[in-house]
């Protein structure tokens, strides 16, 4: 996945980068293919000749690839409230962030705290989740206000 990660890094750090949604969906598909290509624990244990793919490496690569999903979809996820076409991006950000936080929690539970001090992906994932929750609560709040206003109008008639 190194060539994909390098090209995404270059692309996302380019100041003039403004991708079309279809382009983002294409990158999303490439990242998902790389995520699926990560050998599972069962795959690496089943073949004696194959080198064992350590859990730590598997987890860190998964986290790194999911970071790209958040970075690619975040600009569109922020528009999901006004354009339902981008609801998929909101879901992708939520799922990727949840997975990253879950994997960080497992790394911490395994006693691997040193590695976590050098990574900011857990903060990005947490902020992404907080943003989704905030937007969802704002939508819920507005819906409740509309319903209350409608109910108030009905009681006056």
pLDDT tens digits for 45-81?
555 544 556 888 888 899 999 999 999 999 999 888 8
Tell how far CA 70 is from the center of its chain.
4
Q: Which pTM value belongs to this model?
A: 0.78
Looking at residue 92, its pLDDT comes to 95
> Which range (1-10, 70-79, 144-153) has the least confidence?
144-153
């Amino acid at each position: 996945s190194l060539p994909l990660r390098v090209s995404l890094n270059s692309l996302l750090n380019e100041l003039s980068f403004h991708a079309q949604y279809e382009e983002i969906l294409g990158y999303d598909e490439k990242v998902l293919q790389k995520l699926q290509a990560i050998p599972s624990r069962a795959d690496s244990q089943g073949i004696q000749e194959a080198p064992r793919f350590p859990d730590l490496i598997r987890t860190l690569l998964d986290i790194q690839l999911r970071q790209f999903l958040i970075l690619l979809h975040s600009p569109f996820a922020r528009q999901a409230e006004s354009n339902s076409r981008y609801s998929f991006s909101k879901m992708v950000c939520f799922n990727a962030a949840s997975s990253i936080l879950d994997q960080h929690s497992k790394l911490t539970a395994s006693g691997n705290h040193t590695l976590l001090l050098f990574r900011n992906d857990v903060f990005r994932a947490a902020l992404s989740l907080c943003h989704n929750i905030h937007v969802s609560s704002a939508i819920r709040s507005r819906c409740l206000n509309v319903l209350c206003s409608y109910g108030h109008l009905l009681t006056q008639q």
